[in-house]
Structure 1
């Protein structure tokens, strides 16, 4: 299965609780952390919800 690398570029501090929970559910702990997830529709939906806080890396 294809994977996708995602980098957290903005802090979730001060954001709504639903967005903070998505950041936590994706596995982010620090700003500038890069995680690798399977490229599924569920993960894509989570990324789209916080698209202004993350960056997709090639």
Structure 2
């Protein structure tokens, strides 16, 4: 850990549960193929784990 993660939205959250939609929004992802860099910590990992079926994650 202690690095950064590049998180990319690869699947639309339109049909997802409302909680998952809010998690995607909280990660800062807005549109398909939009990427953000997040710190690699437990909170971020937990959010990513919850919606891992919608995301692509790369370590930087």
TM-score by length of 1: 0.93
For the aligned residue pairs, the C-alpha RMSD in angstroms reads 1.0
Give unmatched runs, 5+ long, in structure 2. none
Q: What does residue range 1-58 of structure 1 map to in structure 2 within 5 Å?
A: 1-58=2-59
Structure 1's consecutive aligned runs of 4 or more residues displaced over 4 angstroms after TM superposition are none
TM-score by length of 2: 0.90
> Secondary structure of the equivalent of 1:23?
helix
Report the CA distance between 1:57 and its aligned residue: 2.3
Give unmatched runs, 5+ long, in structure 1. none
